[in-house]
Amino acid sequence: MSVSKNLIAAAAKLREAVNSLTFSKPVTHVYNPLDYAWEAHQLYLTKYANSTKKVVMLGMNPGPFGMAQTGVPFGEIPAVRDWMKIEAPVGKPAVENPKRPVEGFACTRSEVSGRRLWGLMAERFGAPENFFADHIILNYCPLVFMEESGRNVTPDKIPAAEKKPLTAACDAHLREVIKILEPEWCIGVGGFATKCLERILGREACPKPPLRSGEMPEGSGGGLGQPSLPRNPQIGTILHPSPANPHANRDWAGKATAQLEDLGAW
């Protein structure tokens, strides 16, 4: 199968795995855009993930006004609709929180993280084809968690017993994605995603001391019974663009660019 078809198959497997999970309060609503926004997500992978990549950038999970609406990671609607030229019908989650309705591409709210992230890529690369020739942006976890009030709950705040099967499913998917895409660099967008990459690849992110030639850390290749990865990508991290991060609210694009250039990924 092609790269994009393999990624679509992997995403479908992840979708089914996480749909079998249950979560307790304070989480009252769980949205899975791989269900109700599957068509748009498939378009994203078909159009822009149709080859191996030099750089894979990884976010945490969908934002309520981004991927939760569009099915595209960090899916700020103007970036997805007007820059990527992706638009598709979007349904509804099985149980919708009235305080966080899914309106698809009709949503008028802005996903600030996505606006900043995709805005940087559009400014630096121009046409989306220039960016996606060597890059792709994905999320670690496909689920949106929220309280009754509509307040977002991030995956790291899920109770340990419930987080264990979620982590197992998302780790397996991430491992498969890296195997399919064969990147030179895996870049965590923020600390959570970087830790996920470190766990999967079995070592710490740059610029910490690299492994000596031929050295394989304990846990490399994904753990007991897991196939080794065909390439040994470097791990890097960039500042998360969320407005909740005070360091991101002044020249986030400049700071992220400098981080990627210092790493050598750009």
Beta bridge partner(s), residue 137: 57
Confidence (pTM): 0.91
> Once rounded to an integer, what is the mean pLDDT over residues 168-196?
98
Residue 231 is predicted with a pLDDT of: 64
Count of residues making up the chain: 266
Residue 225 is predicted with a pLDDT of: 42
Q: Are 182 and 52 in contact (CB under 8 A)?
A: yes
- Which domains does the chain show, CATH number per domain? 3-187 (3.40.470.10)
Q: Which has the closest alpha carbon to 176: 140, 202, 124?
A: 140
Q: Tell whether the model's pLDDT for residue 219 goes beyond 90.
A: no
Amino acid at 99: K
Q: Tell whether the model's pLDDT for residue 32 goes beyond 50.
A: yes
Helix (H) or strand (E) holding 153: strand 152-153
Residue 28 is predicted with a pLDDT of: 97
Which letter does DSSP use for residue 235 in this model? E
> Once rounded to an integer, what is the mean pLDDT over residues 170-186?
98
> Once rounded to an integer, what is the mean pLDDT over residues 37-47?
98
Indicate the SS3 state at residue 138. strand
Residue 230 is predicted with a pLDDT of: 53
Residue 228 is predicted with a pLDDT of: 54
> Once rounded to an integer, what is the mean pLDDT over residues 127-147?
98
Q: Are 233 and 201 in contact (CB under 8 A)?
A: yes
Q: Tell whether the model's pLDDT for residue 185 goes beyond 80.
A: yes
